[in-house]
Chains A and B, each alone.
Chain A
Amino acid sequence: MFRFIVRRLLQLIPALFGLSILLFIWLHRLPGGPETAILGERGTPEMRAAIRDNLGLDEPVLVQYGRFMQRMFRLDLGTSIATKREVTTEFLQRFPGTVELATTAMIIAILVGIPLGYLAARRRGRLLDHVSVAGSLIGVCIPVFFLAYVLKAIFAENLHLFPASGRQDPTIEATRITNFFVLDGLMTREWDAAADALWHLVLPGLALASIPLAIIVRITRASVLEVLGEDFVRTAEAKGLTERVVRRRHVLRNAMLPVATTIGLLTGGLLSGAVLTETVFAFSGIGAFIADSISQRDYPVLMGFIMIIAVLFVLVNLLVDLSYSLIDPRVRVR
């Protein structure tokens, strides 16, 4: 297993190298530059030219790429053109928010999706099955921003049950250690801060969970239906095992392999795909920041963030691969 992990990590190097070239060329071919965003409608042509000159943006792309790689070798991602903060600092401030949000959404999606998909398969053709299939279709179709708007209108504006924005009530004086607010609250025993951060995760978590939830329901249902028809299930039932044991040990576990793969892919997607939810809930995460950085042509932020996300994406999928052997002992990673 160790060799498997090392090999997968080594594969990252050429992948990142290729990605960096593609990304760099693509970003620098976009029309316009960061000087416009910095100066807005107040910039004179002279000021714009001076900024471009300072940033070296009029040099050949290869020269600029060389400078970028020199920094990369020193593990220095540079500073943001817009905020003048180090790219790694920006990432560490914002990434925990996205992870908390994605994790909440994934937990909701898994805790609701797998049982629902399983039950739908067991009660195939009955009311629950129809409802969950139709529901999951709606879940995939409904735009996240619309769902977010409706959730906020009901639970925040009218019922005042949940907050409508942010990661934590700003009047709470919370200690920041890791920037994972829930974890920080637990670590410092600031229970109100932890609870409040958790409370702030509910509505955005639900909104973001809608699509993965729907997908997990459908995959689980299909997978369980397939396994239910397998010979070994009939054999297990025939040899007199109780239904509970058959369900848990034979059906569910075998049905989980495709579900685990899907969850891995969905989690990776959530990390980079929470832009809308983060914007609508004013949730400080990397999604909304990347979107802003694109319109501001903040090249160092875009290069740095996307490279880090690529590494994380590979790591998440490595973990998923490793989890196969836990779910199904027949699978051995080599």
Chain B
Amino acid sequence: MRAPRPKVAIAAVAVAALAVAGCAESDRGDSGASQKDTLVFGVAGDPKVLDPSLASDGESLRVARQVFETLVRPEEGGTKITPGLAETWTPDATGTVWTFKLRSGVKFHDGTDFNAEAVCVNFNRWYNAKGLMQSPDVTPYWQDVMGGFAANERDDLPPSLFKSCTAKDATTVDLAFTRVSSKVPAALMLPSFSIHSPKALEQYQASTIGGSADNIQYPSYAMEHPTGTGPFKFKSWDIANKTLTLERNEEYGGTQKAKLKTLIFKTISDENARKQALRSGDIQGYDLVGPADVEPLKSEGFNMLTRPAFNILYLAMNQNGGNPKLKDLRVRQAIAYALNRQALVDSKLPPGAKVATQFMPDTVEGWNPQVTTYDYNVEKAKQLLAEAGASNLTLRFHYPTEVTRPYMPNPKDLFELLSADLQAVGIKITPIPLKWTPDYLNATSTGTEHDLHFLGWTGDYGDGYNFIGTMFDRQKPEWGFNNPALFELFKKADTTADATARYEVYKELNAEVMKFLPGVPISHSPPAIVFGKDVTGVKASPLTDERFATAEFKS
């Protein structure tokens, strides 16, 4: 047998190439868009789903914020509640029924009208969810904010906070709740409460989750047809090229039409790769800038924006299952005094980071300037440990690896500093490094075999309960403690209808928490977001609610 000659093989390949060339239809329209009206923005992960009702990951929500609008929205660059699709919102005397006056003349991307009826269709869709729509990984934020549904199908679901929606006329809608809650109306700013086109919801069967509990499949609405009222419309999601393309909504009914014609989100998971892509011109901006890159990129002329800090990094101490000595307040106080948090903030956190005195940043109403503070004091720490008979204390210290969070840019460095501080007052440390997910989060938030660990929280919306309530309003494995008096005070805060009165209770809570000291608040870090040298118009938001509609290229 004679082997085919290379020339024959090359000729065969060439013939095959010619044969495939032109054998399929191009579905390309007239493109030729100028680069100056197209922004490619680098993000760290693919969005999971395009229907924000089903989303909890930051990347899905980032896309949703451009495509959809909510009844109320955070002020640009801040956390205060400002008008969105609703112009005004007022509670009745009981604080359980809220009347929203809606903007008129707004249209969904499919051309249908936005009105009170549409709002009710959306709320009823969430409230009346059945079957797999009640799965906690399908409607996480609804369950987080509203608890349960019209007919709960799981025993562990609480009763729903939401009660009913009434369209009084085309631009007036009443939302009724089962009780007064700190979450209303602030939580309605979350993209998960975005208003969708009722027609599109029905046409693409948005509420029909396919498959089975262990094999969930999203409907086509959630993957291909998100239809909102926002300044951008969904165009395409190219998973094979890790890009998601939005285009300007020419019929936008809000204050300002998008300046960009096309907005593309491109997934680049590696932090260094995002930086290199920006420098090489592949992208014109990216999020989750490494703290070490902030100054170099700024000095190169890139447009570096710093978000107001809206997070907290804390050291948690476990009082149930951890070292029993941690139940002694003096030991917890000693640990707080032992930590040189200012040195940590100065050396390891990005510019603008601050030492935390309590578990919420000072931009949130209810922050208390008068709480007990624990300034760095080695002698006092040693003395307290001696008084508590804990001079030979050994503690397991969990810290995460392979992760960067906005509040925790470099966990290993933080661990080393904190652990050196603790050793300096005579506490022996057993380091337990674990991979962030699932090992670390499991060990610290559901396990009981931990003494010290650090973790943090980034606020979802501008209400104090979202910070301190999330952490301390009931017994949790992360902290272990059971403090009924504190839990009662949280209940009082959550059910105080008057916002000003509620903020006072938050102040009281902050004072109580810092006296009881379940953990040590460490710092608030401002995360950075960067844009190309010629990109302007975007305002950094503490809630990562950056509006790309205002982005433009300097001419």
Q: What residues make up the interface of A, taking CB atoms closer than 8 Å to B? A: 31-51, 54-56, 67, 78-79, 81-86, 90, 93-94, 96-97, 149, 152-153, 156-157, 160, 163-168, 170-177, 179, 181, 183-184, 186-190, 253, 279-282, 284, 288, 292, 295-297, 300, 325-327, 329
Smallest beta-carbon distance B57→chain A, Å: 8
Could you say which residues of chain B place their CB within 8 Å of the CB of A188? 22, 24-26, 28
Partner of A41, one of B40, B49, B217, B457: B457
Which residues B435-462 have CB closer than 8 A to chain A? 435-439, 441-442, 445-446, 455-457
Task: State the CA gap A51–B214 with chains docked (Å).
Answer: 9
With A36-B438, A166-B282: A175-B33 Cβ-Cβ less than 8 Å: no
Smallest beta-carbon distance B376→chain A, Å: 27
Could you say which residues of chain B place their CB within 8 Å of the CB of A44? 476
Interchain CB contact under 8 A, A45 and B241: no
Q: Is B257 an interface residue (CB 8 A)?
A: no
A-binding segment of B267-275, B420-428, B499-507: B267-275
1/0 per position for B103-135, CB-CB distance to A under 8 A? 000000000000000000000000000000001
Which residues B224-281 have CB closer than 8 A to chain A? 238-243, 245, 262, 264, 266-270, 272-274, 276-277, 279-281
Q: Is B11 an interface residue (CB 8 A)?
A: no
Smallest beta-carbon distance A51→chain B, Å: 5
Partner of B239, one of A31, A36, A93, A174: A93
Partner of B216, one of A45, A56, A84, A149: A84
Could you say which residues of chain A place their CB within 8 Å of the CB of B240? 93-94, 96-97, 167, 176, 179, 181, 284
Complex A-B: 23 CB contacts under 8 Å: A32-B439, A36-B441, A39-B56, A41-B445, A42-B56, A42-B140, A48-B446, A50-B136, A82-B48, A83-B48, A94-B239, A97-B240, A165-B280, A166-B241, A168-B241, A170-B40, A171-B38, A175-B27, A187-B24, A188-B25, A188-B28, A292-B269, A295-B402
With A186-B20, A284-B240: A157-B269 Cβ-Cβ less than 8 Å: no
With A45-B476, A166-B266, A188-B26: A40-B282 Cβ-Cβ less than 8 Å: no
Task: State the CA gap A82–B457 with chains docked (Å).
Answer: 22
Task: State the CA gap A39–B215 with chains docked (Å).
Answer: 17
Q: Is B156 an interface residue (CB 8 A)?
A: yes
With A55-B213, A175-B27: A31-B269 Cβ-Cβ less than 8 Å: no
Task: State the CA gap A49–B21 with chains docked (Å).
Answer: 53
Which residues B167-218 have CB closer than 8 A to chain A? 211, 213-218
Task: State the CA gap A174–B213 with chains docked (Å).
Answer: 36
Task: State the CA gap A181–B266 with chains docked (Å).
Answer: 17
Interchain CB contact under 8 A, B438 and A171: no
Q: Is B322 an interface residue (CB 8 A)?
A: no
Interchain CB contact under 8 A, B27 and A167: no
Task: State the CA gap A7–B214 with chains docked (Å).
Answer: 36
Interchain CB contact under 8 A, A32 and B21: no
Smallest beta-carbon distance B289→chain A, Å: 16
**Residue picked from B23, B57, B273, most chain A C-beta under 10 Å:** B273
Task: State the CA gap A325–B42 with chains docked (Å).
Answer: 49
Q: Which residue of A lies closest to B270 (CB)?
A: A279
Could you say which residues of chain A place their CB within 8 Å of the CB of B135? 50-51, 54
Could you say which residues of chain A place their CB within 8 Å of the CB of B213? 54-56
12 more A-B contacts (CB under 8 A) besides A153-B276, A156-B282? A36-B441, A41-B405, A41-B455, A48-B446, A55-B214, A85-B217, A164-B273, A167-B241, A170-B245, A292-B269, A295-B438, A329-B2
Smallest beta-carbon distance A223→chain B, Å: 18
Could you say which residues of chain B place their CB within 8 Å of the CB of A163? 280, 282
Interchain CB contact under 8 A, B143 and A47: yes
